[in-house]
Amino acid sequence: MPVHLIQRGNNRGICFGALEDFSAYIGWLKEYSKKYGVDIHAWVFMTNHVHLLCTPQEEGGVSLMMQSVGRRYVQYFNYQYQRSGTLWEGRYKSCLIQSESYLLELYRYIELNPVRADMVEDPSEYGWSSYQINALGKLSDLCTPHSEYLKLGDTKDTRLKNYRALFSSHVEGSLLEDIRSGLNKGMALGDDRFKDEIEALTGRRLKPKKVGRPVGWRKKRGTGI
């Protein structure tokens, strides 16, 4: 099942200070995603955080991958900048994704990060995301296309064209809020049926509790129950 995750620098601090840092992180991400059976579909590496859209093929794959990448990168970063201590803001945050309804929206959300941050005007101008691979056809041994991406066309050129068309508008409004809320609260992103199914499988609450007092609370209070 696809997972959207984010890992931030401690106190929103810098976790990539030079081009070499991005390259080092990517190298370890390639190594450990293959080792632990995690398909990487989309990504963006910002100066103080990382977004990934991925699908584990083995139980616990995402956790093992992120632990290994994080550990190796912290050692590298501390050595490079003659520092010590933590680099990441605790454990990464993640959200399960309903593929058919939201997966391509997550592709857009992730690859438009540099545009929302006013770093570039077009996602193609940012070299540390998957946009150039998914939209322009740049080769990458890190990227594994998801089946929903492959449905965009029967040929590579058609898929690239249709994928670029998705970026004619920004991710905003309620969709933007749903994505951010689901990620920050560890909720699933999908319709109610999808969330109910995931809750039944995992035993975890993946929908926010209803606000306010439960129905019938006044009657119960009046009877002394």
For residue 114, give the CATH number of its domain: 3.30.70.1290
> CA geometry: angle at 47 spanning 43 and 50, to 5°?
30
As a whole number, the mean pLDDT across the chain is: 89
pLDDT single digits (tens) 24-63: 999 999 999 999 999 999 999 999 999 999 999 999 999 9
Domain limits at 49?
3-202
What average pLDDT does range 139-164 have in this prediction? Answer: 97
Please check whether residue 137 lies inside any domain of the structure.
yes
Q: Is 131 a member of any domain?
A: yes
Residue 223 lies in a domain: no
Residue of 221 and 187 predicted with greater confidence: 187
Does a structural domain hold residue 215?
A: no
Round to the nearest angstrom and report the end-to-end CA distance of the chain.
43
Q: Look at the chain and report how many structural domains it folds into.
A: 1
Length of the chain measured in residues = 225
Give the neighbor-by-neighbor strand order of the sheet with 38-45.
38-45, 49-56, 3-8, 93-96
Whether residue 153 has pLDDT greater than 50? yes
Whether 111 is in a domain gets the answer: yes
pTM for this one? 0.85
Whether residue 65 lies inside any domain: the answer is yes
Residue 198 lies in a domain: yes
